[in-house]
Amino acid sequence: MSGEVTDNRARNRFELVVDGVTAHIDYERKPDPIVLIHTIVPKEIGGRGVGTQIIKSALDMIRAEGIKMVPQCPFVAAFLKKHPEYNDLVAG
């Protein structure tokens, strides 16, 4: 897989471009916490771990920023159940 996750603040989303197709996590900054609203992985790049990569990278960026997050997105919530090492980022 190629590409690096970026924080596109102008569009309020974390983005990952793979083979010219963009996956993203929409968010709302409050500024703290950040609410992760919805994850979109287009079918053209689905089944390749893109969702996991974008979530992990987004959570790493949130941690580096020193803020908390609210996992409103069911995909992010499911990721957190499998990766409890990120639970310290959950607000409240």
For the chain, the domains span 6-89
What three-state secondary structure class fits 27?
A: strand
Residues 27 and 37: their CA atoms lie apart, in Å, by 5
- Paired residues of 26 in beta bridges: 13, 38
Report pLDDT for 31: 78
- The structure's pTM equals 0.94
Find the DSSP H helices in 1-92: 50-65, 74-82
What three-state secondary structure class fits 36?
A: strand
All residues at 6 or more sequence positions from 82 whose CB lies less than 8 Å from its CB, including other chains? none
Report pLDDT for 13: 98
pLDDT tens-digit series, residues 3-30: 899 999 999 999 999 999 999 999 999 8
pLDDT tens-digit series, residues 27-58: 999 878 999 999 999 999 999 999 999 999 99
In terms of residues, how long is the chain?
92
CATH architecture, domain defined by 6-89: 3-Layer(aba) Sandwich (3.40)
